[in-house]
Amino acid sequence: YTEGGESERSGEVLVRTLSGVPSTPLSVTASGGAPDAILVTWEPPTETNGDLLGYYIYYQVVGSTETLRSEAGPDQTTYSISGLRPATEYVITLTAYTEGGESERSGEVLVQTMSGVPSTPLSVTA
């Protein structure tokens, strides 16, 4: 704008902000319904701050320093972690992520896998 008046308007420009970090997934629970698997369930974060790309499920044996990670898709709210040890207690945490990064981890959930079936005796005498 000048004293001579307004100029012609420019064309529209569409601007998209970068994705932010989502809030933490809610209501995380876990159940050990098998000797080698844990079923984890959750509710999506209240704020995705962009396109939700998925979830990371972190798990480790209680007392261990090794943390393992599995990945679930953005539309999932349950995930079965398999290949675990029978009768073992695990710590589970969960995050959501976008292009902007990963949310804070959920609170820890403790869960124990079921005991396995004992093996067949090798020799039995009567």
What average pLDDT does the chain have?
A: 89
Which position has the higher pLDDT, 24 or 6?
Answer: 24
Q: What integer is the mean pLDDT of 69-98?
A: 96
Q: How much is the pLDDT for 117? A: 67
For residue 18, pLDDT over 90 is answered with no
- pLDDT on residue 126: 65
* Cα–Cα distances in angstroms (integers) from residue 8 to residues 1, 5, 12, 13, in the given order: 10, 10, 12, 15
pLDDT higher than 90, residue 20: no
Per-residue pLDDT, 26: 96
Q: What average pLDDT score do residues 6-20 get?
A: 78
pLDDT score for 15? 73
CA 26 vs CA 68, 101, 117: distances in Å: 21, 18, 34
**Closest to 27 measured CA to CA, from 45, 12, 9:** 45
Q: How far apart are CA 113 and CA 36, in angstroms?
A: 6
pLDDT band at 120 (very low <50, low <70, confident <90, very high): low
For residue 1, pLDDT over 60 is answered with no
Place of tokens 């396109």: 51
pTM of the complete model? 0.79
- Local confidence band at 5 (pLDDT 50, 70, 90 cut-offs): confident
